[in-house]
């Protein structure tokens, strides 16, 4: 448990059981409920679903929706705050229909709504957010169609708020709503001075891509008033970036927005909502710090800072407490899904070795290296041995380029080098003091485990922005780890790797691994992938979407679960079609080519049929390695 820091980043949803397997506790309200990942893997195999697989725990989604709403409601009550909480889920974070439906369903008792940031998202949100008491918030850049769709929502009796990102959108909104004679609900996004920190800090400040300056905010309000529509301005919105690591940025932004809200109110614009956007972070590395992959606050603290921050300013300014809207996406979805991949090979740094026996007249570099290995004993200075071996290996590479030593001598020197390093590692492990070189040694000697997945499809942020995602072997954790490794995927791209891992309260370039036996498959879980990873993954090397399994727990049996839905991943012919190939005619062409060889007597007819069928089977199969 400590090695992988599961309880630090797991949000209470994951733990390592006494049997050494990772368990999921899908409902925090019922801690006796736990599902063993090994049972999930068994069931997936029995269903003949190929790995890698995305697992969605719908109970976790529901639980997160409930936690956020209950937190706001209880702090609002405790603070005697006069407004209510009306949250929305920004579907950009994970647009999967099943995810959106689950959130809408779990959020129904709280009138929890949806947010859209583009036309396709708006079309989805209009169809799925049918609760007339829930908000539909529309951010992002808009065209006339976008605005007409928003007004269609108003016609259907929905609380659709068009958030103005730039001034010209307001002119368009006023014109079209007058033309259609439909009253809009207008929101404005303000560019904030309060700076977010972390990877998305560019979302605030003068150079922010979205929002109005304070001058534009006033101009917009006055324009609406002049058009007889001042009363339609109902919401003030800000968003200073996702994954805010430091609570102070949130406090600052809430304070600034409350001031703007209060001033507008005193100018006669009776806004009803303040929308604090997203930004509620996830503690990916479990360090509870201001690291980019962490956060130094809890959900409860975030909620309290929003509620009390607004209350304090409104009371000072003597204006009513607004209803509070938040647009948390990451915090709702990150925990609910994970990717299970299998280890399909090990790439050892030393590769194979050759015999290093002495030959008359060999080069001194080779003799020195051999002497170093032979001379290893309990009294040897290990650091010096490591330094010498490393230096001589580099010198040997130079000597080879300069034609001073031959290929065989180079291979022997390298074989000896790896033997020395292994010996130094074993001897260092017995010492109580671990000097710095042992970290370099560990990482140099660690294997790369080849895993059946694509980083670009399943963990794209780990490649694109160095986002940490916890990785844990799913079984065999009842005994201490036996070796360290990093992970590489099956794409033909050297960037397709994971070499930053969450270990206890820190990060490490290697992942400790339990013993992997030859005849048992080793499965790894890539956790906290439910936010953004699912939808931003790409098709590098034509590896498509993964097979998906949706899991629910059984109310009557705390350790049981059922697969509610299986969604097949992309097939080869589907990815090829996206790239403008015509798989059906390719199959016909292949058949023709094979038939020609049959006619020429190069392939026997029976064999020809088999090859044709095989090609077609591969076309309709999964894009990942078939390991069964």
- Summarize as ranges the residues that interact with ligand PLP (CB under 6 A): 90, 93, 139, 239, 242-243, 277-280, 327-331
Least distance from ligand PLP to the Cβ atom of residue 562, Å:
30
Q: Which is nearer to ligand PLP, 466 or 605 (CB)?
A: 466
| C-beta of residue 241 within 8 angstroms of C-beta of residue 208 | no
CB of 52 to ligand PLP, least distance (A): 24
Q: What is the dihedral of CA 49, 53, 59, 60, to 10 degrees?
A: 170
Residue number closest to ligand PLP, CB atom: 278
In angstroms, give the least distance from the CB of 275 to ligand PLP.
Answer: 9
Give me the least distance between CB of 280 and ligand PLP, in Å please.
5
Q: Answer whether 171's CB lies under 8 Å from 144's CB.
A: no
**Secondary structure of 540-573 as H, E, C letters:** HHHCCCCEEEEEEECCCCCCCEEEEEEECCCEHH
Work out how close the CB of 88 gets to ligand PLP at its nearest, in angstroms, rounded to a whole number: 9
Rg (CA), the chain: 30
Task: List CB contacts of 229: < 8 A, sequence separation 6 or more.
Answer: 174, 177, 183, 184, 186
Are the C-beta atoms of 45 and 344 separated by less than 8 Å?
A: no
Number of Cβ within 10 Å of residue 286's Cβ equals 23
Task: Pick the closer one to ligand PLP by CB: 23 or 295.
Answer: 295
Q: What minimum distance in Å lies between the beta carbon of 486 and ligand PLP?
A: 28
Q: Nearer Cβ to ligand PLP, position 56 or 265?
A: 56
- The nearer residue to ligand PLP, 243 or 341, going by C-beta atoms, is 243
Contacts by residues 395-401 (CB-CB < 8 Å, ≥ 24 positions apart): 395/365, 396/365, 396/366, 396/369, 399/363, 399/365
Report d(CA 594, CA 600) in Å as an integer: 10
Q: How far is the CB of 495 from ligand PLP (least distance, A)?
A: 24
Structure token pair of residue 458: 């399943």
Name which of 327 and 362 has its Cβ closer to ligand PLP.
327
Instruction: Decide whether 460 or 474 has the Cβ nearer to ligand PLP.
Output: 460
Closest contact distance (angstroms) between CB of 204 and ligand PLP is 11
DSSP character string of 159-216: EEEEEESSHHHHHHHHHHHHHHT---EEEEEBPPSSPP-STTGGGSSTT-SS-B-HHH
Of 72 and 622, CB closest to ligand PLP: 72
139 or 454: whose CB is closer to ligand PLP?
A: 139
Backbone CA torsion sign across 381, 384, 389, 390: positive
């Amino acid at each position: 448990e400590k090695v992988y820091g599961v309880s630090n980043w797991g949000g209470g949803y994951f733990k390592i059981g006494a049997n050494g397997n990772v368990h999921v506790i899908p409902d925090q309200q019922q801690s006796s409920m736990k599902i063993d990942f090994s049972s999930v893997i068994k069931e997936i195999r029995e269903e003949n679903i190929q790995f890698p697989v995305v697992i969605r725990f719908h109970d976790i989604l529901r639980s997160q929706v409930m936690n956020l709403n209950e937190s706001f409601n209880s702090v609002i009550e405790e603070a005697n705050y006069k407004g209510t909480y009306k949250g929305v889920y920004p579907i950009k974070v994970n647009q999967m229909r099943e995810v959106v439906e689950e959130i809408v369903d779990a959020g129904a008792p709280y009138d929890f709504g949806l947010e859209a940031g583009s036309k396709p998202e708006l079309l989805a949100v209009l169809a799925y957010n049918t609760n007339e008491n829930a908000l539909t918030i529309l951010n992002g850049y808009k065209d006339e169609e976008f605005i007409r769709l928003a007004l269609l929502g108003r016609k259907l009796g929905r609380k659709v708020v068009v958030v103005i990102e730039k001034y010209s959108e307001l002119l368009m909104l006023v014109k079209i709503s007058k033309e259609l004679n439909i009253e809009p609900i207008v929101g404005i996004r303000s560019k904030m001075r309060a700076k977010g920190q972390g990877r998305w800090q560019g979302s605030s400040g003068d150079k922010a891509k979205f929002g109005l300056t304070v001058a534009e905010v006033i101009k917009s309000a006055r324009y609406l008033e002049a058009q007889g529509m001042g009363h339609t301005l109902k919401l003030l919105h800000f968003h200073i970036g996702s994954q805010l690591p430091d609570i102070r940025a949130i406090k600052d932004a809430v304070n600034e927005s409350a001031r703007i809200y209060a001033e507008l109110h005193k100018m006669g614009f009776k806004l009803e909502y303040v929308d604090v956007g997203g930004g509620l972070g996830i503690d990916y590395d479990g360090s509870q710090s201001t690291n980019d992959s962490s956060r130094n606050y809890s959900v409860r603290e975030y909620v309290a800072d929003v509620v009390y921050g607004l209350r304090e300013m409104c009371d000072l300014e003597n204006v009513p407490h607004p209803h509070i809207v938040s647009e948390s996406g990451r915090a709702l979805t990150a925990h609910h899904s994970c990717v299970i991949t299998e280890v399909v090979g090990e790439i050892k740094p030393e590769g194979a070795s050759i015999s290093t026996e002495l030959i008359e007249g060999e080069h001194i570099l080779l003799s020195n290296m051999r002497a170093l290995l032979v001379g290893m004993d309990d009294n040897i200075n290990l650091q010096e041995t490591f330094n010498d071996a490393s230096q001589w290996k580099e010198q040997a590479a130079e000597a080879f380029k300069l034609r001073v030593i031959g290929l065989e001598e180079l291979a022997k020197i390298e074989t000896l080098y790896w033997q020395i390093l292994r010996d130094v590692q074993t001897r260092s492990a017995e010492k109580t003091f671990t000097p710095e070189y042992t970290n370099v040694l560990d990482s140099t000697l660690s294997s790369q485990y080849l895993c059946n997945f694509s980083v670009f499809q399943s963990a794209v942020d780990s490649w694109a922005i160095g986002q940490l995602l916890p990785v844990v072997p799913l079984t065999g954790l009842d005994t201490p780890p036996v070796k360290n490794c990093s992970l590489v995927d099956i794409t033909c791209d050297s960037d397709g790797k994971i070499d930053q891992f969450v270990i206890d309260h820190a990060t490490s370039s290697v992942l400790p691994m339990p013993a992997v036996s030859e005849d048992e498959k080793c499965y790894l879980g890539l956790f906290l992938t439910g936010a953004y990873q699912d939808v931003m993954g790409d098709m590098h090397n034509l590896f498509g979407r993964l097979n998906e399994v949706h899991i629910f727990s059984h109310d009557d049996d705390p350790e049981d679960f059922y697969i509610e839905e299986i969604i097949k991943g992309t097939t080869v012919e589907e990815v090829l079609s996206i790239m403008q190939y015509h798989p059906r005619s390719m199959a016909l062409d292949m058949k023709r080519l094979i038939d020609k060889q049959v006619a020429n007597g190069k392939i026997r007819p029976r064999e020809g049929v088999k090859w044709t069928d095989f090609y077609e089977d591969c076309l309709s199969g999964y894009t990942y390695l078939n390991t069964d």
